[in-house]
Amino acid sequence: MAGYLEKIEELAGQARQQIARAVSLEQLEQWRLNLLGRKGQVTAILHDLGQVSPGERPLVGKQANELKNEIGRLLEERRAALEKEQLERAAARSAIDVTLPGLRPWTGSIHPLNRTLSRVNEVLYSMGFSLAEGPEIEDEFHNFDALNTPADHPARDEHDTFFLEGGLLLRSHTSPVQIRHMQANPPPVRIIAPGRVFRRDTPDATHSPIFHQVEGLYVDENVTFGDLKYTLEQFALRLFGPDTTLRFRPSFFPFTEPSAEVDCSCIFCKRKGCRICKGSGWLEILGCGMVDPSVFEAVGYDPERWTGFAFGMGIDRICLLVHSIDDIRLFLESDTGFLSQF
């Protein structure tokens, strides 16, 4: 019955290898069932002992039992080792290294133009103006004719306009919103109209084909230039601070008469003269004037009864000044290095 002893020997070698190489507790359990289970290979040998000749039975029995014990021990050792590995891996996964620098969560920020726009709007809302909006694609009537700028008017050339098909154009200023609002609403009127405007300008540090304006319109009976001055002065005080002063210079716009350009005392040097105001002490911030009677006629308001003032300012320019930004093109470039500073 040398066959049994050889089989035991072979099984022993195989079992030692399998157990040593088991990579998981599930696999180890599989090997245990294969060897020591009810239908396991070692169990089978012990079952067959009755068939071994009585002379050899003690030796075969002894070897088989020793194998069973050894496998039991090896299984136990390997199980302990695998469990330890599993615990160590779990611990490594959940370990917190308190010496690592923290991760700053990336947050977006408000675009500087939106910041400036919100601030301007807030101040004007607080003074009783409310929001009006109009389309970016306009027609010649609203963008020019109704604003007292007929086709042959030289002021049209100054707005290098993007013309579209069918008499349409990209609005070159926010003033057409005045016309649309008056056509749709009876006086009195107190509105502001913020929005994008478009001009065929070659981009450089101070010119962009897309920029932003806020338009204001105030219509009532007996409105005077004094009302205009007071309103804009209050606006500037609230926007730029208590020691701000304004300077009104006579100017020309087709839709206002008289018209003025308004300078604000330099927010950097307080009129001492600096690089930003080019030594003048003043910064130009808006255009304004008393609504021309022909504009009232174009929208069906009685020019004998109604009076009003209007103003328009460039938000990009104010934003550049307030933040000392030296290139208007930065506003449209979506450069997160620039934007994350705000």
The binding site consists of 257
Least distance in Å: CB of 246 to ligand DAH? 15
Least distance in Å: CB of 99 to ligand DAH? 59
Pairing mode of beta strands 189-198, 130-131: parallel
Site for ligand DAH in 191-220 (CB under 6 A): 215
Strand residue runs (E) in the chain: 130-131, 137-139, 168-170, 189-198, 210-220, 246-253, 256-265, 282-291, 307-314
Contact status, residue 218 vs residue 189, Cβ threshold 8 Å: yes
Per rule CB under 6 A, is residue 138 in the interface with ligand DAH? Answer: no
Name the one range near ligand DAH by CB under 6 A: 1-9, 46-54, 112-120, 282-290: 282-290
Binding residues for Mg(2+): 257
Of the two residues 134 and 289, which places its CB atom closer to ligand DAH in the complex? 289
Per rule CB under 6 A, is residue 78 in the interface with ligand DAH? Answer: no
Q: How far apart are CA 131 and CA 118, in angstroms?
A: 12
Name the one range near ligand DAH by CB under 6 A: 21-29, 47-55, 228-236, 281-289: 281-289
Q: How many positions of this chain bind ligand DAH (CB under 6 A)?
A: 11
Helix (H) or strand (E) holding 193: strand 189-198
Q: Which of 41, 149, 208, 256 binds ligand DAH (CB under 6 A)?
A: 256
Q: Which of 18, 161, 175, 265 binds ligand DAH (CB under 6 A)?
A: 175
DSSP 144: T
Q: How far apart are CA 311 and CA 179, in angstroms?
A: 14
Least distance in Å: CB of 325 to ligand DAH? 21
Can the peptide bond before residue 258 be classed as cis, meaning omega within 30 degrees of 0?
yes
Q: Which of 74, 287, 317, 328 binds ligand DAH (CB under 6 A)?
A: 287
Token pair for 145: 């004719």
Least distance in Å: CB of 312 to ligand DAH? 2
Contact status, residue 182 vs residue 146, Cβ threshold 8 Å: no
Of the two residues 134 and 312, which places its CB atom closer to ligand DAH in the complex? 312
Least distance in Å: CB of 253 to ligand DAH? 4
Tallying the residues shown for the chain, one arrives at: 342
Q: Quick check: helix, strand or coil at residue 329? A: helix
Q: How far apart are CA 155 and CA 161, in angstroms?
A: 11
Of the two residues 11 and 177, which places its CB atom closer to ligand DAH in the complex? 177
Of the two residues 231 and 256, which places its CB atom closer to ligand DAH in the complex? 256
Q: Which of 144, 218, 235, 253 binds ligand DAH (CB under 6 A)?
A: 253
Name the one range near ligand DAH by CB under 6 A: 18-26, 222-230, 284-292, 297-305: 284-292
φ/ψ (deg, to 5) at 78: -65, -35
Per rule CB under 6 A, is residue 289 in the interface with ligand DAH? Answer: yes
Per rule CB under 6 A, is residue 134 in the interface with ligand DAH? Answer: no
Contact status, residue 338 vs residue 293, Cβ threshold 8 Å: no
Token pair for 13: 């070698």
Token pair for 167: 């008499």
String of b and e for 213-225 (b: at least 16 CB within 10 Å)?
bbbbbbbeeebee
Interaction site with ligand DAH (CB under 6 A)? 173, 175, 215, 253, 256, 287-289, 310-312
